[in-house]
């Protein structure tokens, strides 16, 4: 599958999901627009939105954009997490460095609703 605009960590996450037997369009959706997507105020796009397991979304966190820039991106991530929680969905963040070094483990943990990201650790 071609994934225009996808980052290397997003592709790694996608490939791990497929290796674990999940099927795009059935178990999960890549770059899923929710609440109007980027075009509506309050809308967002999550990297991975799941129907299996239900109530789960994953956001891949690039080191530079999500951590080094601080400020705006971090606040946007936390706002997205809160918005999804109000809709009954848990947003799990997966850090780029974890995908590059321990992809299978961190994806399995995310599928079990366990978040090991720097954002969750307060870093």
pLDDT above 80 (res 2): no
Cβ proximity of 73 and 65 under 8 Å: yes
3 state SS of 87: coil
Domain ranges of the chain: 8-121
Q: Which tops the pLDDT comparison, 33 or 110? A: 110
Residues 6+ apart with CB under 8 A from 50: 27, 28, 29, 56, 57, 58
pLDDT > 90: percent of the chain? 48
Pick from 58, 69, 43, 65: nearest CA to 13:
58
Between helix 96-111 and helix 8-19 the angle, nearest 10°, is 30
CATH 2.30.130.10 fits 8-121, yes or no: no
pLDDT digits over 76-103, tens only? 778 778 888 888 999 999 999 999 999 9
What is the per-residue pLDDT for 82?
82
């Amino acid at each position: 599958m071609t994934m225009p605009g996808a980052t290397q960590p997003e592709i790694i996450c996608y490939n791990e999901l497929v290796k674990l037997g999940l099927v795009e369009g059935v178990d999960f959706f890549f770059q899923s627009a929710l609440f109007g997507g980027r075009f509506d105020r309050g809308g967002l796009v999550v990297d991975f939105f799941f129907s299996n397991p239900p109530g789960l979304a994953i956001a891949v966190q690039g080191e530079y954009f999500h951590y080094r820039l601080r400020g705006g991106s971090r606040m946007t991530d936390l706002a997205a997490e809160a918005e999804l929680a109000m809709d009954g969905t848990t947003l799990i963040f997966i850090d780029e460095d974890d995908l590059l070094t321990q992809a299978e483990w961190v994806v399995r943990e995310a599928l079990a609703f366990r978040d090991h990201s720097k954002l969750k650790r307060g870093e």
